Amino acid sequence: MTHTLHRQGSVEDLHEDYVLLLRTSRFVNHEGSEKTMQQIWEVISHYREDLVNFGNHNPNWDGGELYDLDALQKAKSRIIHVVFRDREKIKACLKEIKERDFGISTVVSGLCGETEKICAEIGISPHTVNYSLGIHGNTGRVPQGEILEIHTMCGHSMVATNLIHHMVNEINKGKITCWAAAKNLSRMCDCGIFNTYRAEKLLRSMTTDRSR
Amino acid sequence: MLIDREKCIGCEECFPYCPVGAIRLAEGGSVSEIDQAECVECGCCYKRSSVCPVDAIYMPKLEWPRCLREYFSNPDVKHPSTTGNGRGTEEMKTNDVTGRFGRGEAGVALELGRPGVGTAFRDLETVAMAIARLGVEFESQNPVAELMADPKTGKFNDAVLNERVLSAIIELKVPVGKLRDVLAVVKEVATKIDTAFSLDLISRVDADGTTPVVAIAQAAGFSPRPNTKTNVGLGRPLFKEA
């Protein structure tokens, strides 16, 4: 129900975090959709240089390297996830998907106001919205700050908070760079929705590593 | 998950990968062990990370009800009841073609255990029973539904109550007119559980681009976050509303 919805961070940070999700419905249009989903991957490959992360329903146990845009154009995908850091790039991709009229349900996860503007700019009327009403209950047990921001980039909680702390320690000891640490964390997220770019920035702010 | 004591070298490399901190050194300190009460069978220490240098971590055959831990915590494993991966449903992601949430209706979901805390089905029962008093209908496609002994009261099967998972979702749909009451109960029951939850609210968008639910949520004391998920209506065939 929630997956990409509850990503935490300031509005400024979330300006660099958009997820495009396309999926078939097993009740309506999944049958015979294989070729269409491959064609959508082909469109996404036009933005190859702009993608932060991507994946389908298959496990991503290889640091994202398992996902190859060329291979995905030949694979079976029930779901397509693509992470962008740039509003204009996701807009261009969405526009092309709209124009190709694939007929696959499409969801934009990101800042609400920007999503509304993007839709208006390319002539789309939003159909349904899922709002996050925040975190409740025993919030004293919830991780805080940048740890929470990184942790919530994987909707299935596969990126353990202890692992984030561990990576911070490893960076501070000079054993690993922020980018390598972000990639290590991203490996744990099967769906390819982890924003490696944002994670690296956050790790940089949490550590003494200023190299790139 | 289990650790083969004959193979383990006690290097502690696997410790940080566990989302619930269930791995520790066994008595004596030479090998590691996994706290079976806390382990949610998510597989993070196993194939996903492949962190163990000596392949000492393994997945035993999980019997009912322990297998529920894996179904709800490992997104690569399908729920036998829904044949789907993950913890939720198609929900609003395909609403343009399924029409699951119509005008005048609101979807509400509480994902217990998220973020980063974990939960037991006992917590879900507490929440479900509180909300069920309002006469709501829980989503039958959600894998939590099959664990309820009585969906009308929200009572769960006693055998599953102590099973721990990374998260699980109480999912329901109500007429917009009933939303305020549901949110009031959510606020109250939030004080009665030992875990945290992330809260969702779903609505069809009206012709003027607004939704009727935001004002209701705000009046009930909830502030929508700045980021949303928006189904942009490109699915076909488009569901035809009456």
Q: Dump the DSSP string for B82-97.
A: T--SSSS-SGGGGHHH
**pLDDT bracket for residue A1 (50, 70, 90):** very low
User: Hey, are the CB atoms on A135 and B96 less than 8 Å from each other?
Assistant: no
User: Looking at the predicted structure, is the pLDDT value of residue A174 above 70?
Assistant: yes
What percentage of residues in chain A have a pLDDT greater than 70? 93
Residue A78 lies in a domain: yes
Whether residue A158 is predicted with pLDDT greater than 90 in this model: the reply is yes
| Domains held by chain A: number | 2
The H or E element containing residue A96 is helix A87-100
In terms of average pLDDT, the best of A73-82, A105-114, B137-146 is A105-114
Would the pTM of this model clear 0.80, i.e. be above it? yes
Of A121, A148, A163, which residue is a domain's last? A121
Euclidean distance between CA atoms B38 and B21, whole angstroms:
8
Of A121, A151, A175, the last residue of a domain is A121
Segment holding A35, helix H or strand E: helix A34-45
AA identity, residue B149: A
ipTM for this model: 0.96
Domain boundaries in chain B?
A: 1-60, 83-219
Half-sphere exposure of B139 (CA within 13 A, CB side): 25
| Cα dihedral B174, B79, B126, B199 sign | negative
Nearest Cα of chain A lies from the Cα of B15 at a distance, in angstroms, of 8
pLDDT at residue A56 in the model: 86
Within a 10 A sphere around the Cβ of B178, how many other Cβ atoms?
16
User: Which residue of A105, A138, A158 is in closest CB contact with B194?
Assistant: A138
Q: Please tell me whether residues A110 and A62 are part of one structural domain.
A: yes
Does residue A35 carry a pLDDT above 50? yes
Q: Which domain holds residue A174?
A: 140-206
Sign, CA dihedral B32-B38-B44-B47, equals positive
- Binned at pLDDT 50, 70 and 90, residue A210 comes out as low
Same domain, A33 and A104: yes
- Rounded mean pLDDT of A171-177? 96
Could A130 and B209 be called an inter-chain contact, meaning their C-beta atoms sit closer than 8 Å? no
Nearest C-alpha in A relative to B127: A137
Of B117, B17, B46, which Cα lies nearest the Cα of A167?
B17
Residues A16 and A98 in one domain: yes
Query: Who has greater pLDDT, A187 or B213?
Result: B213
Residue type, B3: I
| Residue B69 pLDDT | 97
- Distance between CA A118 and CA B76 in Å, rounded? 33
**What class does CATH assign to B1-60?**
alpha beta
pLDDT band at A9 (very low <50, low <70, confident <90, very high): very high
Helix residue ranges per DSSP H, chain B: 67-73, 95-98, 121-132, 176-189, 213-219
With 80 as the cut, is the pLDDT of residue A211 above it? no
Question: In this structure, is residue A75 part of a structural domain?
Answer: yes
User: Any chain B CB within 8 A of the CB of A116?
Assistant: yes
What's residue A62's pLDDT?
56
Q: Assign A207 a pLDDT band (cuts: 50, 70, 90).
A: very high
Query: What digits encode the pLDDT tens for the residues A88-101?
Result: 999 999 999 999 99
| Distances, alpha carbon B83 to alpha carbons A166, A201, B29, B76, B179, in Å | 35, 38, 42, 12, 30
Same structural domain for residues A24 and A65?
yes
The pLDDT of residue B88 is: 82
pLDDT of residue B8: 98
CB-defined contacts A:B, below 8 A: 285
- CA quadruple B220, B221, B225, B228: dihedral, nearest 10: -10
Residue A4 lies in a domain: no
Looking at the structure, do residues A98 and A191 belong to the same domain, yes or no? no
- Spacing of C-alpha A31 from chain mean position: 26
pLDDT tens-place string over residues A38-91: 999 999 999 999 999 999 877 765 555 556 888 889 989 999 999 999 999 999
* pLDDT classification of B235: cutoffs 50, 70, 90: very high
Give the mean pLDDT of B5-12: 97
In a domain? residue A184: yes
* Domain assignment present for A108: yes
Calculate how close chain A gets to B66, using CA atoms only, in Å: 19
Q: What is the pLDDT of residue A208?
A: 83
List of chain A residues whose C-beta atoms are within 8 Å of the C-beta of residue B48: 59, 61, 158, 187-188, 190
Q: Lowest mean pLDDT of A23-27, A182-186, B78-82, B125-129, name the range.
A: B78-82
Alpha-carbon distance A48 to nearest alpha carbon in chain B (angstroms):
23
Percent of chain B residues past pLDDT 70, beyond the cut:
100
Residues B17-41 have a mean pLDDT of 97
* Cα–Cα distance for residue pair A177/A180, rounded to 1 Å: 5
- Min distance B115 CA to chain A CA atoms (Å): 6
* Min distance A207 CA to chain B CA atoms (Å): 18
What residues in B contact A139, CB-CB < 8 Å?
196
Nearest by CB to B199, which of A113, A126, A134? A134
Contact B117 A187 (CB under 8 A): no
Residues A145 and A99 reside in one and the same domain:
no
Residue B241 has pLDDT above 90, yes or no: no
Report yes or no on A132 lying in a domain: no
Residues A158 and A190 in one domain: yes
Q: Is B239 strand, coil or helix?
A: coil
What is chain B's length? 242
Are residues A156 and B166, on separate chains, in Cβ contact within 8 Å? Answer: yes
Domain assignment present for residue A94? The answer is yes
Cross-chain CB nearest to A157 (options B101, B116, B211): B116
- For A18, which residue in chain B has the nearest alpha carbon? B227
Average pLDDT, integer, range A181-201:
94
Mean pLDDT (whole number) for B52-63: 97
Residue A95 and residue A21 share a domain: yes
